[in-house]
Chains A and B, each alone.
Chain A
Amino acid sequence: MVAPSRVPKPKAINCPNCGGNIELRGFAHTRSAVCVQCCTIIDPTTPELQILQQFDERLRVRPLIPLGTRGKYRGIPYEVIGFQVRCINSDGVEYSWHEYLLFNPFKGFRYLTQYDGHWNDVLTVHGLPSFTTLGGRKAVNYNNVNYKHFQNAVARTAFVMGEFPWAVRVGETNTVDDYVSAPYMMSSEQTEGEVNWSFGTYILGAEIEQAFQLKTKLPAPRGVYANQPSPFQDKVRASWRTFMLLCLGWAALMAFFTFSASNRVIFDQNFHFAQAVPGEHSFVTQPFEVPGKGNVEIELTTDLKNNWAYFSLALLREDGAQGFDFGREVSYYSGRDSDGSWSEGKAKDSVILPRVPAGRYYLRIEPEMDAQASATAASGMTMNYEVTVRRDVPTTWLFWLALPLLLIPPIVTSIRAMAFEGRRWSESDYAPGSSSSSGDDD
């Protein structure tokens, strides 16, 4: 049998300093309560309401969520019972942020922090993070996620309001280390050899406005916060995925054209050439039929070795209505030296003429070899070569033309994502030197 347990109720006490009314909402958890009227911190657990500290009223800051506001945050009812301003000094500049203490008698305490319009939902951590390094930088691992060290600072309590489950003091300092993996942040706070870890999640002010039914709009965030999720993160991944898909689609299309190309040999003949033979070197081939539509490839296969040849070529329509002039140099050299065997060039070459109308064509060929060399060579400069003409051969140049165009969106997005990360880290201990002027361009 159990005596019915007393039902705790919120109570009001009178400030032992000014007599003002202090409302207590945290039941017996509260170990410090602040009189807003005279800025006195009281220990309400002592019968005489011992004064812990009095601080300068000029430090007063107005909270964006009024104390005593009840809301439903992430499905759990919470009441805002405490508010404190904490600040750090970095290179002579003071930065301050706000912390709201939320309370639910069953769920316990939770914090909301606000800096320059950026909010974090913070809970204490029960597990023990392990220290590691990431890219040569200090990091922690918690629940298999790595968090990069962002900054180390000494945080000072600058102003307090409401009530707290610990003995709070204005001016008190502790060492804070932040580690980030957007949208999460692991923070350690050290006081007198005790290390306490907390886990923060970046949240939007709009969620807080909604949760606490705020009448005034919360200030818009400025700049990039340590664990603010990058708006480009997903876009980068998506744009590369799109790029891959387009490439695959494009390659499939190319493969289709390749397989559907008729690639038919319409002329093939072997020739012999000797530079030393006097007279005109140019000649014309037998006419041949170029059927259907598409391109025409002319391939020259020679038996050149450590030599070169130049071919002046023309594909001419028998009726004289159309002619294509072009030239090709074929050269092939090989040998051995101290580095082993080497070779340069190729004994064959080809040229593709796009869109050649159907009809009867012939080739005019004028080979040319080194005249100087031929004069000294015993047998003169000679070569055997084969001319092959194909109709409608597969081409891949369109693919390579499209590739750089397709690359533009993912590269631009990646650059913007990197610029965002640059702005994030410019606020950290790892900002690149003095020239951390990343500005507002993105």
Chain B
Amino acid sequence: MSGPSSNCPNCGAPIKFAWSSAVQAACPYCQAIIIRRDVNLEAVGTVADLPPDASAIQLMTEGFFDNKHFTVIGRIRYEWEQGNWNEWHLLMNDGTSGWLSDAQADYAVSFAVTSPITFPTPLEMKKGQVFQLQGAQFMVTHLTKVRYVGFEGELPFTTSDRSEFTTADLRTMDARFATIDYSETPPLLFMGRYVDIEALKLTGLREFEGW
């Protein structure tokens, strides 16, 4: 699918969005961070170099999830006390957006959903708490303080704020998971499941020397 094209407000290079709903993007020529407001593009700085990482996924990697084709069009790098991980932004072939998380080659796919319930505040949230979501028992297993450390490609929201926020990870007995992201109020809810990399039938993966 071909999205609208525009010019980079920083260097004037033509920018073609892969996804019409992209809100934030990085100019591939001058590394400017471009934020889209209505029809106007605004450059708000330049992209910092992403710290070295070992994800096998990269921009333009393609694959399938539940028989739906997707293309990786962006990524957010998160950092927490004991490391960092990637959330790869997926453009699904039905125009929706999804996320492929890669934490040390542990993969999970999720989608933003409208929360059917009001979650407690991060301070009131406790490990072991159970919530009934989509007909299953989700238990809070991790409460993590995270922040954005970088991005590339196109994103459905802006990541200019670098302050720390809390995420709560929830799991079910059958390897489904949910993440409550407190970077916004009310918090965002992402739901999905852990996947085996083979099941995604990925193409356009990164190369590793010697592998």
Binding site for B on A (CB under 8 A): 1-3, 5-10, 26-29, 31, 77, 104-109, 124, 126-130, 142-143, 165-167, 193-195
Q: Name the residue of chain B whose CB is nearest to the CB of A27.
A: B54
- Indicate which residue in A2, A29, A105 contacts B28 across the interface (CB closer than 8 Å): A2
Chain B 18-33 interface mask (CB, 8 Å, partner A; 1/0): 0000000000100000
Q: Are A7 and B209 in contact (CB under 8 A)?
A: yes
A167 to chain B, nearest CB (A): 7
- Indicate which residue in A1, A2, A106, A142 contacts B105 across the interface (CB closer than 8 Å): A106
Q: Are A2 and B59 in contact (CB under 8 A)?
A: yes
Could you pull out 10 A-B pairs where Cβ atoms are within 8 angstroms?
A2-B153, A6-B52, A7-B209, A28-B51, A28-B54, A106-B197, A127-B175, A128-B139, A128-B141, A129-B173
Q: Are A127 and B174 in contact (CB under 8 A)?
A: yes
- Indicate which residue in A8, A105, A126 contacts B171 across the interface (CB closer than 8 Å): A126
- Given that A28-B53, A165-B104 are contacting pairs, would A10 and B58 also be in contact in the complex, using a CB cutoff of 8 Å? no
Q: Are B56 and A26 in contact (CB under 8 A)?
A: no
Most buried by A among B51, B139, B211: B211
Instruction: Find chain A residues with CB under 8 A from B58 CB.
Output: 2, 5
B192 to chain A, nearest CB (A): 11
Instruction: Find chain A residues with CB under 8 A from B120 CB.
Output: none
CB contacts under 8 Å to A, within B53-109, are 53-54, 56, 58-60, 82-83, 104-106, 108
Instruction: Kindly state the separation between the CA atoms of A106 and B56 in the bound complex, as whole angstroms.
Output: 6
Instruction: Find chain B residues with CB under 8 A from A166 CB.
Output: 82-83
Instruction: Kindly state the separation between the CA atoms of A380 and B208 in the bound complex, as whole angstroms.
Output: 112
- Indicate which residue in A3, A77, A167 contacts B211 across the interface (CB closer than 8 Å): A77
Q: Are B207 and A7 in contact (CB under 8 A)?
A: yes
Q: Are B173 and A108 in contact (CB under 8 A)?
A: no
- Given that A5-B206, A8-B54 are contacting pairs, would A105 and B211 also be in contact in the complex, using a CB cutoff of 8 Å? yes
- Given that A8-B52, A105-B54, A105-B105 are contacting pairs, would A27 and B208 also be in contact in the complex, using a CB cutoff of 8 Å? yes
Q: Name the residue of chain B whose CB is nearest to the CB of A141.
A: B173
Q: Are B54 and A128 in contact (CB under 8 A)?
A: no
B11 at the interface (CB under 8 A from A): no
Instruction: Kindly state the separation between the CA atoms of A128 and B127 in the bound complex, as whole angstroms.
Output: 13
B8 to chain A, nearest CB (A): 12
A351 to chain B, nearest CB (A): 67
Instruction: Kindly state the separation between the CA atoms of A8 and B209 in the bound complex, as whole angstroms.
Output: 6
Q: Are B171 and A28 in contact (CB under 8 A)?
A: no
Instruction: Kindly state the separation between the CA atoms of A106 and B171 in the bound complex, as whole angstroms.
Output: 23
B135 at the interface (CB under 8 A from A): no
Instruction: Kindly state the separation between the CA atoms of A2 and B29 in the bound complex, as whole angstroms.
Output: 9
5 closest Cβ contacts across the A-B interface?
A: A108-B105, A27-B54, A9-B209, A126-B194, A127-B175
Instruction: Kindly state the separation between the CA atoms of A10 and B139 in the bound complex, as whole angstroms.
Output: 38
Give 14 new A-B contacts, CB below 8 A, not counting A8-B206, A105-B105: A5-B206, A7-B209, A8-B208, A9-B209, A29-B105, A31-B82, A106-B105, A107-B197, A109-B104, A126-B171, A127-B172, A165-B104, A166-B83, A194-B142
A7 to chain B, nearest CB (A): 5
Q: Are B209 and A26 in contact (CB under 8 A)?
A: no
B44 at the interface (CB under 8 A from A): no
Q: Are A167 and B172 in contact (CB under 8 A)?
A: no
Instruction: Kindly state the separation between the CA atoms of A3 and B28 in the bound complex, as whole angstroms.
Output: 7
- Indicate which residue in B82, B153, B171, B197 contacts A127 across the interface (CB closer than 8 Å): B171
Q: Are A10 and B210 in contact (CB under 8 A)?
A: yes
Instruction: Find chain A residues with CB under 8 A from B105 CB.
Output: 29, 104-109
Most buried by B among A77, A127, A143, A165: A127
B190 at the interface (CB under 8 A from A): no
A431 to chain B, nearest CB (A): 31
B53 to chain A, nearest CB (A): 5
Instruction: Find chain B residues with CB under 8 A from A130 CB.
Output: 173
B113 at the interface (CB under 8 A from A): no
Chain B 152-192 interface mask (CB, 8 Å, partner A; 1/0): 01000000000000000001111101000000000000000
- Given that A126-B171, A127-B174, A127-B175 are contacting pairs, would A9 and B210 also be in contact in the complex, using a CB cutoff of 8 Å? yes
Instruction: Kindly state the separation between the CA atoms of A398 and B141 in the bound complex, as whole angstroms.
Output: 65
Instruction: Kindly state the separation between the CA atoms of A195 and B140 in the bound complex, as whole angstroms.
Output: 11
A111 to chain B, nearest CB (A): 13
